[in-house]
């Protein structure tokens, strides 16, 4: 084959490649391909590839974490355009708040080689508030310290470092047992822990399946005790609740029609009638809290509405958990290296 023919063939191949490329580009545009679709598809593939074996509660709930939906939330939040109707958050109510105390987290609570930098977990027994503060470091090395605070004068009366039990995403109080409970967020610890109101006798609770067999190292995002039901309700993920009896035997799971979180999920609480899930939506770059919400469900997990803390808290302030006692509602937040405690009035418009 002579040199001119080779050159002509290369030219023909070049134009053929251009035609194919343009055809693919036009097809993609016609089908509405965009960055959001590609990100969602990518995360769906990652989720499918790395989906872990199901636990007993996984099988009962028949769910798995929807990574692509979380990605959509992040994209929506980054564009300041969360579509509340899309996620079912249709009813919005307002709140009124009163600041009770601000406490700096830091060297006042530090010990040798352990520096406390955050907070996560808040409840009350009617006489004292209980706040969980967290140390810096890798998750497996995180310390949790519980602070006991008098409601009467807002003084810290006791503090106890429980060591590396992990990221305590919530606290709850059982008035029947007169004990406190927490569910560390990471699976290295897993399950539910119990301790006394004098901040002693920490122990891990043995959870049971319906047949009496053990549930070991099951990860939960939060735990709330319902006095009315005499049950422990745990947030398994943003879509699923699990209900345990007072003896910690699983009773049922509930797959929710309306998810419990926007960009970030926080703690679950109960006022004995309804369930309250704290959540935040973020601006992504820089990562800062844009708004704080409380998603409300009845005790069976049916969606009721949401409260929004719009312009009520400081810029970037992150709501962590709310708690109820004798008709009063209180909230704890994290802001600029401090934890804050508020009295909260949940009001309808």
pLDDT of residue 253 exceeding 60, the answer is yes
pLDDT tens-place string over residues 145-168: 889 999 999 999 999 887 767 667
Q: How far is CA 326 from the centre of its chain?
A: 26
pLDDT at 34: 45
Task: Say whether both 132 and 25 belong to one domain.
Answer: no
By residue count, the chain amounts to 349
Q: Which of 219-223, 228-232, 240-244, 337-341 has the lowest mean pLDDT?
A: 219-223
* Spatial contact of 146 and 201, defined as CB atoms under 8 Å apart: no
Task: Say whether both 14 and 119 belong to one domain.
Answer: no
Taking alpha carbons only, the member of 231, 229, 157, 249 closest to residue 197 is 157
> Is residue 226 included in any domain, yes or no?
yes
Task: Say whether both 227 and 132 belong to one domain.
Answer: yes
Q: Which domain holds residue 191?
A: 92-347
Task: Say whether both 22 and 99 belong to one domain.
Answer: no
> Is residue 248 included in any domain, yes or no?
yes
What's the CA gap between 313 and 332, in Å, rounded? 11
Burial profile 152-170: b = 16 or more Cβ within 10 angstroms, e = fewer: eeeebeebbbbebbbbbbb
pLDDT at 6: 57
Task: Say whether both 183 and 294 belong to one domain.
Answer: yes
Task: Say whether both 282 and 150 belong to one domain.
Answer: yes
> Is residue 82 included in any domain, yes or no?
no
Task: Say whether both 97 and 228 belong to one domain.
Answer: yes
Please tell me the total count of domains within the chain. Answer: 2
Task: Say whether both 28 and 108 belong to one domain.
Answer: no
Q: Which residue has the higher pLDDT, 107 or 50?
A: 107
> Is residue 75 included in any domain, yes or no?
no
> Is residue 70 included in any domain, yes or no?
no
Q: Return the CATH number at 195.
A: 2.115.10.20
> Is residue 39 included in any domain, yes or no?
no
Taking alpha carbons only, the member of 66, 87, 60 closest to residue 76 is 87
For the entire predicted model, the pTM comes to: 0.75
> Is residue 102 included in any domain, yes or no?
yes
Backbone angles phi, psi at 278, to 5 degrees: -80, 135
Identify the band that residue 49 occupies on the pLDDT scale cut at 50, 70 and 90: very low
Task: Say whether both 12 and 114 belong to one domain.
Answer: no
> Is residue 40 included in any domain, yes or no?
no
Q: Where are the alpha helices (DSSP H) in 31-93?
A: 35-50, 56-61, 67-78
Cα–Cα distance list, 305 to 184, 223, 260, 297, 348 (Å) = 27, 21, 11, 7, 11
Region 285-313 average pLDDT: 80
Identify the band that residue 98 occupies on the pLDDT scale cut at 50, 70 and 90: very high
Task: Say whether both 27 and 128 belong to one domain.
Answer: no
Task: Say whether both 122 and 21 belong to one domain.
Answer: no
Task: Say whether both 235 and 307 belong to one domain.
Answer: yes
């Amino acid at each position: 084959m002579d040199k001119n023919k080779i050159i002509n063939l290369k030219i023909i191949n070049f134009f053929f490649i251009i035609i194919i490329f343009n055809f693919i580009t036009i097809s993609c545009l016609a089908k509405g391909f965009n960055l959001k679709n590609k990100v969602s598809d990518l995360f769906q593939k990652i989720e499918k590839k790395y989906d872990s074996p199901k636990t007993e509660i996984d099988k009962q709930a028949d769910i798995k974490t929807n990574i692509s939906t979380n990605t959509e939330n992040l994209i929506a939040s980054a564009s300041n355009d969360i579509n509340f109707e899309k996620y079912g958050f249709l009813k919005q109510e307002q709140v009124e708040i009163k600041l009770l105390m601000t406490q700096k987290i830091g060297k006042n609570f530090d010990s040798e080689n352990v520096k406390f930098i955050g907070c996560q977990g808040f409840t009350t027994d009617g006489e004292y508030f209980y706040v969980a503060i967290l140390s810096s470091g890798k998750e497996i090395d995180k310390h949790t310290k519980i602070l006991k605070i008098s409601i009467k004068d807002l003084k810290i009366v006791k503090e106890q470092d429980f060591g590396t039990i992990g990221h305590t995403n919530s606290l709850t109080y059982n008035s029947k047992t007169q004990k406190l409970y927490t569910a560390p967020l990471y699976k290295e610890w897993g399950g539910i822990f119990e301790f006394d109101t004098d901040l002693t006798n920490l122990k891990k609770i043995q959870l049971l399946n319906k047949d009496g067999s053990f549930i070991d190292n099951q990860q939960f995002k939060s735990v709330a005790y319902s006095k009315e039901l005499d049950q422990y309700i745990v947030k398994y993920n943003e879509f699923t609740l699990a209900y345990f009896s007072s003896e910690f035997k699983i009773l049922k799971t509930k797959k929710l029609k309306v998810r419990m979180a926007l960009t970030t999920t926080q703690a679950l609480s109960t006022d004995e009638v309804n369930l309250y899930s704290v959540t935040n939506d973020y601006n992504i770059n820089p990562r800062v809290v844009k708004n704080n919400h409380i998603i409300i469900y009845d005790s069976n997990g049916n969606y009721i509405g949401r409260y929004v803390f719009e312009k009520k808290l400081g810029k970037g302030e992150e709501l962590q958990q709310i708690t109820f006692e004798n008709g009063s509602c209180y909230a704890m937040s994290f802001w600029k290296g401090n934890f804050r405690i508020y009295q909260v009035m949940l009001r309808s418009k």
